């Protein structure tokens, strides 16, 4: 299934755990340090350095771009570390997140409540994923180096839906299907 | 006495940093291809195809396999008859990391003040360096970029000796279970048993340097490796955690004698981007 950004509630409603999806459009990149600053800004009543409504955040910090390329390797980082910050961003209208690894129960509840989706990109496939990124620019927090806030333009960025708005979870469903008891 | 110059060490380390990050080892590629054959889950097979394609792209385009080019662990085997000239050995290693990470467009992922300001050191130093003094007049250098995702899934526990072999197996399998998709399966599980805890952790990491799937030469340990691997692959986690029969490519166990009161076990997990390159000077 092909989707574009910004994400509408209509499109989000069509996504189910396990779906293979490609994303074309704008994706924001932020991870640990940037998320800490987002929440600090919100606590101070300041605006975020980008408008999150309808948007997707990709948990990632790229390797440096070699000459002539928009970005270096660009695979996902472990999403669980961003769990403490995520419900606040969902409250602000964030509609999608891309990372890898499972989210905790609080985030999964918030996804259902705010009608947002969590996707996984293939961890370690940094070179492959970089090929779907057409443009990358730093839009805030440049001092964070690799953890700066980026805006990417992507084309056919491949992801798998992990958590949909219906409570589906691709990790749990996959494990259930392939787990073998010790006496089998 | 044989002299080895710091400049040669720096240049070698720089080259190994880059090669380790761009070119996945043949043993790892072969293990991934085998995994692709053995995996029954369609999503799992698709994931493995993409991992293999990624390795191809990285090789062709000379770009890092993974954006997390790691904190740099360096293992040295320094011959007793070697005389290092032209500077300090550890400074030469760090200069090599600095050079390699700059010239190879590798990510600078190391921060100082880990508990507070977390300020990036901007050059991926300091490396973590372990040195074994051995007979001879050579210097063997092994560079292992270790990504944070897999490294975060590390465990150490002091089992009671009464827990025994079964206790060790149950602990290791539980560690893999708890880690889930986070360390980027399919993984290689490094296990250290014995020593004092610094040694337990060290041998668990050194276990990851073995060619993938090569059993421990001690038959009793090899049997333990096989049994843990079988149990791990029954967990059903699969490639990238989407479900499947190949959660681990291999389990490597290293052991060391330990105190009569202890049974220390350490688990160091390696992601599928198992990167290490070596050179002998």
Residue B223: CATH number of its domain: 3.30.1330
Give the ipTM of the model, two decimals please: 0.91
Domain identity same for B117 and B187: no
Q: Are B149 and B271 in contact (CB under 8 A)?
A: yes
In chain B, the number of structural domains is: 2
> 10 Å Cβ neighbour count for A138?
13
pTM of the model as a whole? 0.94
Across the interface, whether the CB atoms of A126 and B238 are under 8 A apart is answered no
Q: Report yes or no on B228 lying in a domain.
A: yes
pLDDT in the model for residue A184 = 55
Q: Report yes or no on A15 lying in a domain.
A: yes
pLDDT in tens, chain B (281 residues): 899 999 999 999 999 999 999 999 999 999 999 999 999 999 999 999 999 999 999 999 999 999 999 999 999 999 999 999 999 999 999 999 999 999 999 999 999 999 999 999 999 999 999 999 999 999 999 999 999 999 999 999 999 999 999 999 999 999 999 999 999 999 999 999 999 999 999 999 999 999 998 999 999 999 999 999 999 999 999 999 999 999 999 999 999 999 999 999 999 999 999 999 999 99
pLDDT in the model for residue A96 = 98
> 10 Å Cβ neighbour count for A158?
18
Domain identity same for B132 and B243: no
- In angstroms, what CA-CA distances link A141 with A36, A106, A166, B75? 11, 28, 35, 35
> 10 Å Cβ neighbour count for A115?
14
User: Measured between alpha carbons, how far is A33 from B163 in angstroms, rounded to an integer?
Assistant: 41
Q: Report yes or no on B262 lying in a domain.
A: yes
- Return the residue in B23, B68, B185, B271 with the most chain A beta carbons within 10 A, the one to mutate for interface testing: B68
Instruction: Single out the residue in B94, B125, B146 at which a domain terminates.
Output: B146
Q: Report yes or no on A115 lying in a domain.
A: yes
Across-strand partners of B134?
A: B79
| B42-61 helix and B26-38 helix, angle to the nearest 10 degrees | 160
| Cβ-proximal residues to B270 (8 Å cutoff; 6+ apart), any chain | B150, B183, B187, B188, B189, B190, B208
Nearest residue of B to residue A79, measured between CA atoms: B182
User: Measured between alpha carbons, how far is A147 from A35 in angstroms, rounded to an integer?
Assistant: 10
Residue A33: CATH number of its domain: 3.20.130.10
| Contact residues, A window 74-103, toward B, CB-based 8 Å cutoff | 74-75, 77-78, 80, 100-102
Instruction: Single out the residue in B84, B118, B146 at which a domain terminates.
Output: B146
User: Domain residues for A85?
Assistant: 2-178
Q: Which residue has the tokens 């798998």?
A: A160
CB burial of residue A120 (10 Å; 0-12, 13-18, 19+):
buried
Domain identity same for B167 and B259: yes
Domain identity same for B173 and B114: no
Domain identity same for B184 and B166: yes
Instruction: Single out the residue in B98, B124, B146 at which a domain terminates.
Output: B146
In chain A, the number of structural domains is: 1
Q: Report yes or no on A11 lying in a domain.
A: yes
Q: Report yes or no on B46 lying in a domain.
A: no
Q: Report yes or no on A27 lying in a domain.
A: yes
Chain A environment of B243 (Cβ under 8 Å): 170-171, 173-178
Query: DSSP 3-state assignment of B69?
Result: coil
Domain identity same for B8 and B132: yes
Q: Report yes or no on A184 lying in a domain.
A: no
Q: Report yes or no on B279 lying in a domain.
A: no
User: Domain residues for B138?
Assistant: 2-20+65-146
> 10 Å Cβ neighbour count for A146?
20
Q: Report yes or no on B39 lying in a domain.
A: no
Domain identity same for B134 and B178: no
| Contact residues, A window 37-66, toward B, CB-based 8 Å cutoff | 60-66
CA distance B87 to chain A (A): 30
pLDDT digits (tens, 9 = 90+) for A86-106: 999 999 999 999 999 999 999
Domain identity same for B259 and B133: no
Across the interface, whether the CB atoms of A145 and B149 are under 8 A apart is answered no
Q: Report yes or no on A183 lying in a domain.
A: no
| Contact residues, A window 128-157, toward B, CB-based 8 Å cutoff | 128, 130-131, 144-146
Across the interface, whether the CB atoms of B65 and A124 are under 8 A apart is answered yes
Nearest one of B155, B272, B131 to B204, comparing CA atoms: B155
């Amino acid at each position: 299934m092909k989707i574009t950004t910004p994400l509408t509630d209509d499109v989000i409603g069509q996504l189910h755990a396990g779906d293979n999806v490609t994303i074309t459009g704008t994706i924001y990149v932020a991870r640990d340090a940037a998320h800490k600053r987002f929440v600090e800004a919100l606590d101070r009543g300041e605006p975020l350095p980008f408008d999150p409504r309808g948007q997707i955040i990709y948990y990632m910090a790229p390797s440096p771009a070699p000459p002539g390329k928009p970005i270096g390797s660009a695979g996902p980082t472990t999403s669980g570390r961003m769990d403490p910050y995520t419900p606040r961003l969902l409250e602000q209208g964030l509609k999608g997140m891309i990372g890898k690894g499972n989210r905790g129960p609080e985030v999964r509840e918030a996804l259902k409540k705010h009608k947002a989706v969590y996707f996984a990109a293939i961890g370690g496939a940094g070179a492959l994923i970089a090929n779907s990124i057409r443009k990358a620019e730093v839009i805030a927090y440049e001092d964070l180096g690799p953890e700066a806030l980026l805006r990417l333009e992507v084309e056919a960025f491949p992801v798998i839906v992990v958590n949909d708005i219906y409570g589906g979870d691709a990790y749990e469903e996959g494990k259930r299907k392939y787990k073998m008891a010790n006496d089998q | 006495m044989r002299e080895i110059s710091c400049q040669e060490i720096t240049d070698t380390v720089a080259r190994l940093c880059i090669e380790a990050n761009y070119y996945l080892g043949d043993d790892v590629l072969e293990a991934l291809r085998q995994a692709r054959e053995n995996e029954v889950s369609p999503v799992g097979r698709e994931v493995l195809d993409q991992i293999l394609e990624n390795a191809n792209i990285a090789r062709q385009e000379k770009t890092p396999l993974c954006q997390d080019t790691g904190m740099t662990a360096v293992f040295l085997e320094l011959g007793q008859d070697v005389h290092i000239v032209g500077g300090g050995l550890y400074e030469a290693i760090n200069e090599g990391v600095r050079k390699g990470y700059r010239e190879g467009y590798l990510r600078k992922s190391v921060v100082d003040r880990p508990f507070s300001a977390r300020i990036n050191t901007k050059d991926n130093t300091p490396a973590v360096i372990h040195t074994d003094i051995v007979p001879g007049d050579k210097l063997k250098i092994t560079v292992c970029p270790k990504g944070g995702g897999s490294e975060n899934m590390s465990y150490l526990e002091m089992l009671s000796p009464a827990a025994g072999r079964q206790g060790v197996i149950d602990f290791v399998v539980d560690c893999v279970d708890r880690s889930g998709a986070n360390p980027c399966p399919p993984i290689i599980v490094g296990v250290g048993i014995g020593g004092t805890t610094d040694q337990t952790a060290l041998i668990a990491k050194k276990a990851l340097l073995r060619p993938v799937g090569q059993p421990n030469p001690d038959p009793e340990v090899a049997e333990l490796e096989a049994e843990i691997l079988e149990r791990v692959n029954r967990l059903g986690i699969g490639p990238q955690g989407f479900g499947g029969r190949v959660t681990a490519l291999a389990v490597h166990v290293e052991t060391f004698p330990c105190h009569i009161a202890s049974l220390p076990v350490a688990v160091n997990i390696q992601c599928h981007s198992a990167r290490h390159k070596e050179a002998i000077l």
